[in-house]
Amino acid sequence: MSSSAPIFVAALGATTPVGRDAWSSAAAVRAGISGFAEHPFMVDTVGQPMRAALAPWLDIDLMGVARLEALLLPAIDQVLAPVLEEHPGALRMALSLGLPSPRPGLAHDVRQQITKSVQQRYPKIFSAVATFPNGHAAGLLALDAAVKKVAEGAFDACVVAGVDSYIEPTTLEWLEANDQLHGAGPLNNAWGFIPGEGAGALLIARREVAELLRLDPLARVLGVGTGFEANRIKTQTVCIGEGLTQAFRGALAGLPDDFRITDVYCDLNGEPYRADEYGFTALRTKEAFESASDFVAPADCWGDVAAASAPLHLVLAAIAGAKGYANGNVAFAWASAEGGERGAVLMATTRGSA
């Protein structure tokens, strides 16, 4: 990331299986509260109820794009609340949105449907909407694009968001067919993941815009890196973290000389290939970290939330800094998509002076 002006995180939003807003979700993750439950009607190959992390206030019959919208729009509402209160309609704002990558159970026109819903709900707020259908890495690709546009002055501020839900029955069956669904018994995968759902959102802006909105910045974006991994899951190849290393190095270029990273957030979900990839990458970049093995992987609370992962990780990092329980001044988050996209971000919290 190369920017001409410092970019700050000024507001947060979230909906997760463990909280209906950003701050309650962060509190639940800090407390180790699990949102795992038995699916009301989906069973696995041994006849046991599938485990999933469900947003408990949503009707299980709400599916498809409607479910994604029910998760996403309240998160965006939380971020926009201070904007509309202080300066309605006067800012040049955009939305940069991470979405699921194509898969069974996902509408082929999900980008168009969600973009239409956003424009109808906020008809005079966003002058542009960009979508990134890149799964786990989508939020970081969205952030990278947004930071560049805001820094160069194309927009005053941007909402960066991500949303996903694995709860569609066809999607759950696809996960199990690919041996990715966590379960017990000889026919199930003990190293799979718990499917989850959620949405995260951030308002990023230059300092003068945050001050105009009377918002105290929660964090500063120091660097964003992206990469691509050719040796992907579900292929006959071995991944040694080359794409993720590229993303790490791009983000770490913004690390001040006298700082080491103490807080790491990631989308590790129990699948061995993710852990292996991170292990190779951490060995190549270990000098930047106090302890690369000391990380927060909130999939153990709200399940694997895929395209919502990175925005939610940044919500956690910003709140940890704001509430004073972060380990240090600099946080790092990364994400790894099945399609090969990789992303990482370096962020200074308000505890630090970076």
Q: Is the pLDDT of residue 177 over 70?
A: yes
Q: Dihedral sign for Cα 16, 100, 241, 141, please.
A: negative
Mean pLDDT of the chain: 93
Task: Classify 162 as helix, strand or coil.
Answer: strand
Ordered by where they begin, the domains of the chain are: 7-212 (3.40.47.10), 219-349 (3.40.47.10)
> Which of 24-38, 175-189, 277-291 shows the lowest per-residue confidence on average (mean pLDDT)?
175-189
Identify the band that residue 181 occupies on the pLDDT scale cut at 50, 70 and 90.
very high
Q: Residue 244: what pLDDT?
A: 96
Mean pLDDT for 179-183 is 89
Mean pLDDT for 283-301 is 95
Q: Is the pLDDT of residue 352 over 60?
A: no
Dihedrals phi, psi of 77, to nearest 5 degrees: -55, -45
CB 159 within 8 A of CB 201: yes
Mean pLDDT for 274-301 is 94
82 backbone φψ class: left, alpha, beta (φ>0; ψ -120 to 50): alpha
* Residue 88 neighbours by CB distance under 10 Å: 11
* Residue 61 neighbours by CB distance under 10 Å: 9
Q: Is the pLDDT of residue 37 over 60?
A: yes
What is the pTM (predicted TM-score) of this model?
0.95
Q: What is the CA radius of gyration of the chain?
A: 19
